[in-house]
């Protein structure tokens, strides 16, 4: 009996959809391998397994692939399944699989999902603050040119609200291994809207459509007070602009020893953490922020790397309830930032404070 891979492998997979692999064989043992033929990934795994009743099974395939993709910061790899006799140098290979990183279960085929969605679990989110850059990324199951269509809902000088088609992006070329990236700022949208209608004063909402993919942005009721970036479930960076309350806590664990009748401190352990509680959030955004709490990498809006040390995302599906998310973070180097206010050069020439009211 020849050695045969019994799985009927598909052409496209999310990592969460990768199955355990099984071979039927008349050999006592089989050497199996997961190999990426492109880039710097190389051989992900190679192991010799003993056959049991003519069957060899490789378990935890998705975990092995996800670990390597996270380590190399990959969102996509081509993957080949290989096998051979333990003493042989000649591998038998499967067809090349197109594998996309996704740590969550998806209820439809990989190729269908990436053709219809951006690489985020949100359908709408707040507009970024003025001057901040927002990025949307997407893949396509085949090589194609995508022409994004954008609409802005704007407030005019007269007070009227109008939807205007604006031109913000050019054509984007994508393929199975090449991400499409749409990068923009609120100023870009405002400039494009004013070019279409000079009476535009403010952007209230913004919609991006790239093929069948749609993302909506809306003006938040309250300006965000903090920004947290993280790798989402697709191993792609996203930014959460949050209105939240942050409480800084300093804990100092120390030990005291008495030497020569004097108390001496030793083993000082200073820990500075920041506890964050968001304002009430819609259900979709609260579920999305769960990815921040579990992300392997996170950083502040200024690029400072942080570690999420604790998180509480108790989320209700009751739409009458507004959810909030709590988490604790600290800088990844364990050291606090020395916040020094800028010196006011006029401090000595200002008149003293007067207690008399006009």
pLDDT digits (tens, 9 = 90+) for 273-304: 999 999 988 888 989 999 999 998 999 988 89
Closest of 309, 238, 306, 319 to residue 280, by C-alpha: 319
Calpha distance 177→114 (Å, rounded): 12
| Spatial distance between the Cα atoms of 184 and 352, rounded to a whole number of angstroms | 46
Name residues whose C-beta falls within 8 Å of residue 166's C-beta, 6 or more positions apart in sequence: 150, 151, 152, 189, 192, 193, 195, 196
What's the whole-number average pLDDT of the chain? 89
pLDDT score, position 350: 56
Work out the pLDDT band at 197, boundaries 50, 70, 90: very high
CA atoms of 188 and 76, how far apart (whole Å): 30
CA R_g for the chain: 27
Query: Quick one: pLDDT at residue 332?
Result: 82
Confidence of residue 9 (pLDDT cuts 50, 70, 90): very high
Euclidean distance between CA atoms 33 and 10, whole angstroms: 18
Q: CA-CA-CA-CA torsion for 107, 112, 117, 118, nearest 10 degrees? A: 110
Please check the confidence at residue 356 and state whether its pLDDT lies above 60. no
As beta bridge partners, residue 238 has: 230
Comparing 4-112 with 117-219, is the CATH topology the same? yes
Q: Is the pLDDT of residue 240 over 60?
A: yes
CATH of domain 117-219: 2.60.40
Question: pLDDT category, 67, cuts 50, 70, 90?
Answer: very high
Q: 214-237: per-residue pLDDT in tens?
A: 999 999 988 899 999 999 999 999
Q: Is the pLDDT of residue 334 over 80?
A: no
Q: How would CATH label the architecture of 4-112?
A: Sandwich (2.60)
What HEC string does 3-29 produce?
CEECCCCCCEEEHHHCCCEEEECCCCE
Domains of the chain by residue range? 4-112, 117-219, 222-358
pLDDT of residue 315: 84
**Residue 38: its pLDDT value, please?**
82
Structure tokens at 60: 């935890």
pLDDT at residue 259 in the model: 81
* Mean pLDDT of all residues in 91-95: 90
How would you list the strands of the sheet with 124-126, edge to edge?
124-126, 213-218, 200-210, 149-156, 161-166
Residue partners of 356: CB distance under 8 A and separation at least 6: none
pLDDT tens string 109-130: 999 999 999 999 999 999 999 9
């Amino acid at each position: 009996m020849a050695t045969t891979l019994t799985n009927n492998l598909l052409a496209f997979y999310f990592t969460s959809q990768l199955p355990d692999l099984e071979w039927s064989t008349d050999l006592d043992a089989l050497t199996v391998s997961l190999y990426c033929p492109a880039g710097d990934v190389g051989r992900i795994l190679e192991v010799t397994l003993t056959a049991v009743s003519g069957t060899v099974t490789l378990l935890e395939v998705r975990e092995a692939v996800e670990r390597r993709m996270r380590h190399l910061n990959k969102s996509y790899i081509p993957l080949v399944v290989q096998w051979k006799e333990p003493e042989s140098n000649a591998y038998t290979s499967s067809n090349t699989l197109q594998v996309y990183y996704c740590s969550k279960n998806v209820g439809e085929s990989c190729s269908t999902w990436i053709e219809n969605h951006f690489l985020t679990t949100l359908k709408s989110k707040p507009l970024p603050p003025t001057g901040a850059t927002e990025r949307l990324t997407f893949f396509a199951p085949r090589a194609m040119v995508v022409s994004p269509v954008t609409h802005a809902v704007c407030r005019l000088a007269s007070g009227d609200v109008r939807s205007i088609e604006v031109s913000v992006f050019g054509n984007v070329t994508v393929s199975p291994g090449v991400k499409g990236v749409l990068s923009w700022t609120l100023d870009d949208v405002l400039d494009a809207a004013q070019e279409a209608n000079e009476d535009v004063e403010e952007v209230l909402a913004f919609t991006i459509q790239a093929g069948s993919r749609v993302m909506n942005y809306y003006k938040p009721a309250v300006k965000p007070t903090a920004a947290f970036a993280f790798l989402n479930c697709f191993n792609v960076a996203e930014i959460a602009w949050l209105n939240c309350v942050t409480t800084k806590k300093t804990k100092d664990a120390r030990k005291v020893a008495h030497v020569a009748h004097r108390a001496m401190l030793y083993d000082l352990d200073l820990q500075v953490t920041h506890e964050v509680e968001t304002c009430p959030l819609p259900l979709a955004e609260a579920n999305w922020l769960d990815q921040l709490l579990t992300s392997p990498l996170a950083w502040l809006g200024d690029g400072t790397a942080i570690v999420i040390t604790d998180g509480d995302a108790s989320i209700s599906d009751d739409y009458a309830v507004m959810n909030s998310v709590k988490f604790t973070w600290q800088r990844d180097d364990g050291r606090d930032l020395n916040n020094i206010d800028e010196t006011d050069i006029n401090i000595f020439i200002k008149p003293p404070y007067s207690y008399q009211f006009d």
